[in-house]
Every structure is written in C-alpha cells, then in structure tokens.
Amino acid sequence: MDENQRIVLAAKPHGLPRESDFALVRGPVPQPGPGEVLVRCLWLSVDPYMRGLIDAVYPYVKPILVGDTMFGGAVGRVAVSNDPAFAVGELVEGYLGWQLYAVARASELRRIDPQWGPPSTALGVLGMPGMTAYFGMTEIGEPQAGQTVVVSAAAGAVGSAAGQIAKIRGCRVVGIAGSAEKVRHVVDDLGFDACIDYRTEPDLAGALRRCCPDRIHVYFDNVGGTTYDAVMTWLALDARIVICGQISQYNDREAEVGPRRLKEFEMWRARQQGFRVLDYRPRYGEGIAEMARWLAQGRMRYRETVAQGLENSAGAFIGMLQGRNIGKQLVQLAQDAAMNH
C-alpha cells in the first residue's frame, strides 16, 4: 500500500483563501482499529461551508485549525474493514477529509448504491447538496404549482437541483447566476423559465420584475447580500424565503449589515427560515430515492466540474468560491479502475 497524502490548512486565510494557505503533507497510510474501516478515497467534495469551518462560524461543529487536515465529504472504496457492516471493495461516502486514505468508524459511513448513479453523484445531486435542495425547497420553500420561484447561485450544485425541483412541482422558475454560460446552461439544459446574469445586469430588481410578472412566491437564497435585497423588492403575498446560504459574505472580513427590508415582510406577510441539511441526514434515504427516480426519468439533470488530483483541491475550492464551477465542484483523486484492493 502506498503512502497517504493529505491537504492541511497551513495558514488562516483573511478574505478569499490563497493556494499558500494550504499544504500537502505525506505520511504513512493510517491503520484501522476495531470497528473501523480504511477507505481509499476516489472523489472529494469542496464546498462553501468549509470556508465557514475555517472561520469557526458554526458553534456546534469543530472548526478547521491551522495544521488540521481539511474537513470534507468524500467517496471511496473500502480497502480494509474491521467491521462486519462493510466488505472490502464496497463504495462508501463519509466526511473523510482531503486525503487519499482515511480511517472512519463504520457508523460514520454511508453505503452507496451504484445503481442510482455514478459514485461521484453521492457528493452532488444524490448527496449533501442534492439533499439541501430537496429538503430546503420541498419542506421550507413549499412551492405550489403555478407560483413563481427564484433561485440564486442557480448554476451551482444546490441551486441547479433546487430550481429543477420547483419545476417538477409545476412552478415558474427564474434563476440568478454569474455568467452568460451559466445563464445558457440554466435555461437550455436545466429547463428554468429564465435566468438573470447578476454580474452584468445593471438593474437586478428591474430584471426580476420583467421575469416574474406574478411577483416572487418563493426565494431560495444561496447568496444573500444585494441579490437578496433585489428579490425583497418584488415579493408576492405569503412569500417564503429559504435561507440556504449567504456565499456573497463568506470571505468578508467584517460582518454584513442587516437584517434588511423587513417592511416588505410586513406588507407581504412573508416568512423567512433558515435550515441546516445535516438535520435531515436521517431522512437522506427518502430524498435520495426521490432524486434518483427523477434522474432516471430524465426530469433532473446535473453537471460536474472536476479538478484532477489531490494537489489541485485548494485551487478547486478557491475557484468554487469565485464562481468558476458549473454544477458540483469535485476533485477526482484516483481512477476507480486502477484500484488494486
């Protein structure tokens, strides 16, 4: 068995992280103890929440400190199993970190059914981002047929799925995304009714008025900031605002102003609610089964942006924070066919 390689946080970033904030460390492959499993990682997920972990924003989750292996979801194959729950060679998903080999307790791993989709989808449309879209849209957004739904970061992992779920529910769906290529993808490939490029549109509130003649019944907010402000000017009666993420602020050095636009809430009897997808982890089976059915029916589509090699993980993470990804940003660590376990 070869050496392990992992990416550690080398320095605490201020603002947008730089490649020099991360370092590749080599060492021996860890050995699993009783009840533990050694996983050879194949796919790594880089996600916006990791920026928050570095800044210790989640009071109930261990932050990533300088010297720590970067935390993150990964998919791999069981290389050694000291627990009867998993056999060598099985595909699993878990929070295994940015590394080639990881030891995990069997209870921390989720078995992947390869019939539902390629293994990488367990980190995207059939994994945490897909479940964020599914439970956030269906349980918090509660879109009704004929209503208008707006989704920001619409070409990203969560937004692309959230908008398609609202389409399946019979809504008019308008995306907001950050390039002409993303706008084209969201409308032509994903089937949204319209999409606005917030980076080039000088009057986002005006564009929303044009795209949403019946006003906005559900806003699935992935970005916060001035995009949120523009949406608030055009709420429909009983509007629901799903606070999924606020990525426009994750690299800010100072706290954003707010809350804003509360008069609109009073006028339109609006409701705003945040949620964390991990609260739904016990129900992932239900959400994955529904999403897999939609995938099989061709009603749910997904895109992946793939970086190659552990050494490119930091670059992929920084690029995702800047919007270079379309769909789910992944890092491929190894070819599955090359596995020799």
Ligand X SMILES: NC(=O)c1ccc[n+]([C@@H]2O[C@H](COP(=O)([O-])OP(=O)(O)OC[C@H]3O[C@@H](n4cnc5c(N)ncnc54)[C@H](OP(=O)(O)O)[C@@H]3O)[C@@H](O)[C@H]2O)c1
Q: Smaller CB distance to ligand X: residue 48 or 119? A: 48
Residue type, 120: S
Nearer to ligand X, 78 or 153 (CB): 153
* Residue 263 CB neighbour total at 10 angstroms: 9
Paired residues of 94 in beta bridges? 74
* Interface with ligand X (CB under 6 A), residue from 32, 42, 44, 48: 48
Which residues between 145 and 184 bind ligand X (CB under 6 A)? 153, 155-159, 177-179, 182
Spatial CA neighbour of 44 closest among 15, 27, 69: 69
> Which x/- pattern over 7-46 shows residues binding ligand X (rule: CB under 6 A)?
----------------------------------------
Torsion of CA 290, 293, 294, 298, to 10 degrees: 170
Question: What would the x/- binding string for ligand X be over residues 261 to 300, using CB under 6 A?
Answer: --------------xxx-----------------------
Cα 32 to Cα 29: distance, rounded to the nearest angstrom? 10
Beta partners for residue 8, in sequence order? 23, 69
Here's the x/- map for ligand X, 87-106, by CB under 6 A: it reads as --------------------
Contact pick of 97, 245, 303, 317 for ligand X (by CB under 6 A): 245
In the complex, least distance from residue 319 CB atom to ligand X, rounded to whole angstroms: 9
Name which of 5 and 132 has its Cβ closer to ligand X: 132
4 vs 312, which CB is nearer to ligand X?
A: 312
Q: Give the residue with the Cβ less far from ligand X, 102 or 161.
A: 161
Site for ligand X in 298-327 (CB under 6 A): 320, 323, 325
Among 21, 36, 47, 93, binds ligand X (CB under 6 A): 47
Of residues 191 and 323, the one with the C-beta less far from ligand X: 323
Handedness of CA 111, 117, 119, 120 (dihedral sign): negative
* Nearer Cβ to ligand X (212/244): 244
Task: Give the range of 5-13, 32-40, 242-250, 260-268 binding ligand X by CB under 6 A.
Answer: 242-250
Binding positions for ligand X, 179-238, rule CB under 6 A: 179, 182, 222-223
Chain positions contacting ligand X, by CB under 6 A: 47-49, 129, 132, 153, 155-159, 177-179, 182, 222-223, 244-245, 247-248, 275-277, 320, 323, 325, 329
